[in-house]
Amino acid sequence: MTRRTRFFGLFMLSLLALFGLMAAHAALSVRGAGPALREEALLVRRLELTDLCLSTEANYTRHLSLADFHTAFQDHPLALEHFPSGALLGPSPHLRRSHGQLD
């Protein structure tokens, strides 16, 4: 085996090893995150929260599941999306189901 091949072999092996380390780290972190997640879930229950706080730009990006069809256009029918996060966080699937039973 030439030096080249050996070096490449080592390179790939170390990448694979790091990959393994990454998987191990992920598994351990997930297990370790148990208490924090439980606490967070408890907080959601206690405060009766319905959404994650991902964006505080607009009310329809803050409470994604509670937003309705019209919120984004409340100022004017032609008020097109002007919040950056609104472009990223689209409407919920239950909104797109028009004339649903509960509408």
Least spacing, CB of residue 53 vs another protein, in Å: 5
10 lies in the site for another protein, by CB under 8 A: no
DSSP states of 4-38 as a string? HHHHHHHHHHHHHHHHHHHHHHHHHHHHHTHHHHH
In a 10 Å sphere around its CB, with 0-12 CB exposed, 13-18 middle and 19+ buried, how is residue 95 labelled? middle
- Find the angle CA(51)-CA(44)-CA(58) to the nearest 5 degrees: 25
Q: Which of 36, 76, 78, 80 is close enough to bind another protein by CB under 8 A? A: 36
Least spacing, CB of residue 54 vs another protein, in Å: 6
Least spacing, CB of residue 44 vs another protein, in Å: 5
59 lies in the site for another protein, by CB under 8 A: yes
52 lies in the site for another protein, by CB under 8 A: yes
Radius of gyration of the chain (CA): 23
Positions in the binding site for another protein (CB under 8 A): 1-2, 4-5, 8, 11-12, 15-16, 18-19, 22-23, 25-26, 29-30, 33, 36-37, 39-57, 59, 61-62, 64-66, 68-71, 74, 83-90, 92-94, 101-103
